[in-house]
Chains A and B, each alone.
Chain A
């Protein structure tokens, strides 16, 4: 769906997404919808600035999003609030789904999420009846043991109530799929040697330590990433990077925490120094990026870096000799109807053009189904589950090798957090606090973590605690504290906030290790365990203890 269509939404449910910090350009459309009478509700364990700005904030226990979503489905079905005609025509597996969610009553969900059953009922009724309704879902939902199934459950709700019928209805995470990107030309998966090992970056620490199957890693080439800050298991990862026998090359604009450990740092261009063509995760415009200046010093774009590397290594396939202009020309399927009137030349002239889809006032792409699923419908019973757990090849440079593959229940269901009191009482006894590490306000993951302006806006990294949790540990505002579990520890400043749920502590991610108080960031305590679907990380599924340092 089109983010700009949100002005037509009557009910906007922002789920685990701090829009004002991480998706600011969406907020004006939400504000406009509100002026036109829409209600804005935020579901988030934390009272973010977005939650504070909304009409209602529903704070749930971390990692219990799936329980809340399934209980909403329960209420919608039990109270006959479904759009029967939409369900009949454009969905698959409704009877099985209805039977599945019978067990997920609001009372059950209250025990799980901490949200009162009556609040859940009201939420479900308002969401179902104020049409078109929209859910803006954040990636935070995915970051715990049952994250995949939580997203599955949420994705079923718009089909249940027929939200897809009108502009401004549906579920929004990234409108990527409207762009006819020529992925094959981007990634050339056919050039991959079959059987090439794929290592998930969230296991990089273990991989460097030789704990994974297969040959030991001898060389590491990092570009467009700063694993020391964004990957879990920081202590192990840094120890690995310090290995004498590891050859590390980092292509970077800045001396990041990762570049510090490189044998060779290659200077990379910024977007100001290179030409580029872009699709978007946040709107429906294709953009052409003209460089403003020629590359400084010896900096080169990734494209040139790999051209030179291929030549030096003796790879002479034509694909390695493509110019940037040739790659731009191959980037999209220009004959696709969504690209009507858009050419490389017109983009170079105008800078940006909206896809040739109906206007935000008319665009309802799934009013008649047309979903990218096996059946083209909303699949309450997912046909893709037949192939077992998999990662969309798009997110592995097109590779479909070594998929996780374990069986997946095709019907949404609830999987509680891995690190919690019910599941692991002994762990919860030692580490009773649930650490959340949301995106920071002023950084983009770890990008800008070195920049003066952004560091001043973000201020020094803090651990936010409920005053009761702080008092129980003798912690006062501004005290230096250590956060720890079996994986590691890091040191920072305490900040008290009575709006926080007791038992939850929060530290925004992205600040750099070299700016930390004791040579570690929150990545030192984050888990390497995967979520249930797609080998996603579980950063929100972390128990810790905190003490005065």
Chain B
């Protein structure tokens, strides 16, 4: 259960949400940021901070963005991300994201 970042973040990645998150559970990749579903405390603080409205609550996902629930979870699992992002970014993305053409 958590908040989920979706494709409106791709190539924006301005990290406003990272600044807001009280538990540091948002992990920037190369082109998009990802929320760790087990570390997210559902506080909702990141949602209004996003300039591109990329963040949604898992239970209120627009149907066409539903796949990003798995995208967020799989990315952090794949890269073994946990315990806070700090100032680090992962120089990679989930395949769904890296396949997107740059705008």
Contacts and interface: CB of A to CB of B under 8 A. Distances in A.
A31 B39 CA distance: 14
Interface of B: 1, 22-24, 39, 41-43, 57, 59, 83-84, 86
Given A21-B41, A441-B41, A28 B1 contact: no
B24 to A, nearest CB: 6
A455 to B, nearest CB: 11
A20 B1 contact: no
Nearest to B60: A453
A28 B43 CA distance: 13
Q: In this complex, which of B22, B24, B43, B57 has the most chain A Cβ atoms within 10 angstroms of its Cβ?
A: B22
A53 B23 contact: yes
29 contacts: A20-B23, A20-B41, A21-B41, A24-B23, A24-B41, A24-B43, A25-B22, A27-B22, A27-B23, A28-B22, A31-B22, A31-B23, A31-B24, A31-B84, A35-B86, A49-B39, A49-B41, A53-B23, A53-B83, A53-B84, A441-B41, A441-B42, A442-B42, A453-B57, A456-B1, A456-B59, A457-B1, A457-B42, A459-B1
Interface of A: 20-21, 24-25, 27-28, 31, 35, 49, 53, 441-442, 453, 456-457, 459
A12 to B, nearest CB: 15
A278 B43 CA distance: 23
Contacts of A53: 23, 39, 83-84
**SS class of chain B's interface: helix, strand, loop or mixed?**
loop
Contacts of A21: 41
B69 to A, nearest CB: 14
A24 B40 CA distance: 12
Contacts of A24: 22-23, 41, 43
A31 B1 CA distance: 23
Contacts of A20: 23, 41
Nearest to A25: B22
Contacts of B39: 49, 53
A53 B25 CA distance: 11
Contacts of B24: 31
Contacts of A25: 22
A320 B88 CA distance: 60
Nearest to B42: A457
Nearest to A441: B41
A441 B23 CA distance: 14
Nearest to A31: B24
Nearest to A55: B83
Contacts of A49: 39, 41
Contacts of B42: 441-442, 457
Closest 7 CB pairs of A and B: A457-B42, A28-B22, A27-B22, A456-B59, A457-B1, A24-B22, A20-B41
B57 to A, nearest CB: 8
Contacts of A35: 86
Contacts of A459: 1
Nearest to B41: A20
A4 to B, nearest CB: 14
Contacts of B23: 20, 24, 27, 31, 53
A24 B43 CA distance: 9
Contacts of B57: 453
Nearest to A458: B1
A156 B22 CA distance: 31
A441 B42 CA distance: 9
Nearest to A50: B23
Contacts of A453: 57, 59
Nearest to B86: A35
Contacts of A28: 22
Nearest to A54: B83
A171 B49 CA distance: 34
